[in-house]
Amino acid sequence: MSKLNCQIFDSMGDTELKKYLHSKLKSCKIRVISNELSLKTIDSKAEVLGVFVDSEVDKKVLDKMPKLKLIATMSTGYDHIDLEECKKRNITVCNVPNYGENTVAEHTMALILSLSRKIYPSIKRVKEGHYDFVGLRGFDLKGKAIGIVGTGSIGIHLITMLKCFETKVIAYDVKPNKATAKKYGFTYVSFDKLLSRSDIISFHVPLFPSTHHMINKKNIKKIKKGAYLINTARGGLIEAEALAKGLKSGQIAGAGLDVLEEEELLQNPKKILYTEKKDRDGLLKTNQMNKFIVDHPNTIITPHNAFNSTEALKRIIDITAENIIAYSKGSVQNIVN
């Protein structure tokens, strides 16, 4: 039996990771490119494609890969892959569910605590040589209402941590699970109630058409004045313009974000050159809003790094390799389409 031909785009460019991938996929013919996917480096003969979330797999990419049978995304989210086009071409798409519930929840908790105790400006001040606490007063989490949007793996893991801080947790999910709420000690409310009652709102839902701009220019006014927004899920959940305006007016006191709408442009400004003309103005406007958000004194932004722990990456590679090997043996697992 001939070996499956796999092309993997490892944008981490990490030598150890590359070695680990090779060791796990000895039964396949694999080529690892230490970069994100580009049309120039695609192997048209590849049957399996492995990507991280920064590699967009759209129609143009699929057109160049006529032999493609499987896309193994090394992530939980799969909004960077055109599932409709994959379906038309009989390409199976699988993901890595649950590799990082604690990893992403821990990062989220770090963002919440950094905001509540002004950790970033405090450290910056001392490093700059000023040992002085004036203007650095924070607030306690104990007793605060925390709204969790999405009570899947990450949301629930975060809730268990938040309960240790004696916070009052309320949640919204399209599929509420009463038994889970009872077990972890929180209450489900409508999305509008969550917005109006929470002191801190944290997002843990996938980016779907139904969740795109869950926070937008209209409903941002429904958020309790002076609340904080946390987003470690996907940038497109929060409209950048709405958040920028909310921060400017003081409706939103601050934000802790690991993801931003159209963050690809912050990563690589040249992307604007490959954007269709009709979409350029919108993209540039979002980019301007992102710059305002990044520069705002009450925001802390990390570069889509919540997943990036040694342990989580090992789990990602292990499950991706299992997905590919299962496929090579005629079975499939973790399918998303």
Site for ligand NAD in 86-105 (CB under 6 A): 100-101, 104
Judged on CB neighbours under 10 Å (0-12, 13-18, 19+), 125 is middle
Quick count: other Cβ atoms within 10 Å of Cβ 109? 20
Q: Is residue 236 near ligand NAD by the rule CB under 6 A?
A: no
**Lookup: tokens for 242:** 């709405």
CB of 120 to ligand NAD, least distance (A): 18
In the complex, what is the shortest distance from the CB of residue 257 to ligand NAD, in angstroms, rounded to a whole number?
A: 10
DSSP, collapsed to helix, strand or coil, labels residue 120 as helix
Reply yes or no on whether 197 is catalytic: no
Instruction: Work out whether 42 is an interface residue with ligand NAD (CB under 6 A).
Output: no
Q: Interface with ligand NAD by CB under 6 A: which range of 26-34, 127-135, 146-154, 222-230?
A: 146-154
State which residue, 95 or 328, has the beta carbon closest to ligand NAD: 95
Query: Residue 3's closest CA among 64, 52, 46?
Result: 46
Task: Indicate which residue of 101, 234, 261, 264 is catalytic.
Answer: 234
Q: How many residues does the chain have?
A: 337
Instruction: Specify the amino acid at residue 306.
Output: A
Choice between 122 and 177, CB closer to ligand NAD:
177
Alpha-carbon distance 324 to 321, whole Å? 5
| Contact flag: residue 118 with ligand NAD (CB under 6 A) | no
58: left (phi over 0), alpha (psi -120 to 50) or beta: beta
Q: Which residue number places its CB atom closest to ligand NAD?
A: 152
Question: Catalytic residue among 107, 157, 204, 304, which?
Answer: 304
Q: Is 263 a catalytic residue?
A: yes
Residue 304 falls in the annotated catalytic set: yes
* Cα dihedral 151, 156, 158, 163 sign: positive
93 pairs with which residues across the strands? 71
Site for ligand NAD in 242-301 (CB under 6 A): 258-259
Catalytic residues: 234, 263, 304
Q: Which residues bind ligand NAD (CB under 6 A)?
A: 76-77, 100-101, 104, 150-155, 173-175, 204-208, 210-211, 232-234, 258-259, 304, 306-307
